[in-house]
Structure 1
Amino acid sequence: YKSFVDKYTLWSHKSITYDNKLTGTPDYLISTKSELGKTILGLPLVIVVEAKQNNFIEGWGQCLAELIAAQKMNKNEAQPVYGIVTDGELWQLGRLLVNVFTKEKTRIAIT
């Protein structure tokens, strides 16, 4: 943790907007630390979305839209952005690189 505190910021319910169609509020977001201070969002790297009522399909729909917005905000499609959808017990990971979204089939159980 201490080796990353100067490089990254963890946000809770921070809205991200690229345009009128690509906007959303992930439950959690990890970004690079902005040079402009703690209140300015850096480049989004990881999006975390809650699967409401254990609905991972809808959770991934929300997460993927936010991953596309994050990718466009980063202005670098060659840099992957990562997504996590969770119901608190099961965690599923995904990655968006250029225009290819890859979702792990396995859900990780946290007990």
Structure 2
Amino acid sequence: MSSEKARAEGIINPVLLEVKRQLQGQISIFSGEEFNGEPEAELPGYIDFLLSRSPEQLFIKAPAVILVSAKKEDLKPALGQCLAEMVAAQRFNRQKQQPISTIYGTVTSGTVWRFLKLG
């Protein structure tokens, strides 16, 4: 697949939908949403995918658990971006009084995956 969007929709989205099915709908999956974990700390932006432990699909609700970034080739620059998103999710959860001990993130090209854990 030649574009990041194609990789996201063709590879990542089916995996996340299966996770949701396995968890019997107890999570929400958001794609391409604006996520401002803490705008004053310069952590705003758009996420490729975010999983929330809330079954409500209307808006991102704490706690945010997993962030996924789809990249075309070189994953190294994307690791910093994913880590910033994870920190934003951690702060978002705290701000919403829903802190969780671990935030997960991953960056993938579709064939190569790098997993991160912030705890």
CA gap of 1:4–1:89, structure 2 versus 1, over 3 A, is same
Structure 1 residue ranges without an equivalent (≥5): 98-111
Give the structure-2-normalised TM-score.
Answer: 0.69
Which residue among 71, 74, 80 is the counterpart of 1:51?
A: 71
Runs of 4+ in 1 over 2 A off after TM superposition: none
1:19 corresponds to 2:39: yes
1:95 corresponds to 2:117: yes
State the partner residue of 1:100. Answer: none
Q: Root-mean-square deviation (CA), in Å?
A: 1.7
Residues 26 and 48 of structure 1 are in contact (CA less than 8 Å); yes or no, is this contact kept in structure 2? Answer: yes
Q: Note the C-alpha offset of 1:3.
A: 4.8
When you count strand as a share of all residues, which structure comes out higher?
1
Q: Tell which has more relative contact order, 1 or 2 (C-alpha 8 A, sep 6+).
A: 2
When you count helix as a share of all residues, which structure comes out higher?
2
Q: Note the C-alpha offset of 1:51.
A: 2.4
Structure 2 residue ranges without an equivalent (≥5): 1-19
Residues 16 and 23 of structure 1 are in contact (CA less than 8 Å); yes or no, is this contact kept in structure 2? Answer: yes
Aligned runs of 1:1-111 on 2, under 5 Å? 1-17=20-36, 18-20=38-40, 21-33=42-54, 37-42=56-61, 43-52=63-72, 54-75=73-94, 76=99, 79-97=101-119
Q: Note the C-alpha offset of 1:95.
A: 0.4
Give aligned pairs, total. 93
Local SS of the residue matching 1:26: coil
Instruction: For residues 1-39 of structure 1, give each alpha carbon's deviation from its aligned partner in whole angstroms, at most 9, with x where no partner exists.
Output: 4452432011111111021401121211111116xx421
Give the structure-1-normalised TM-score.
Answer: 0.74
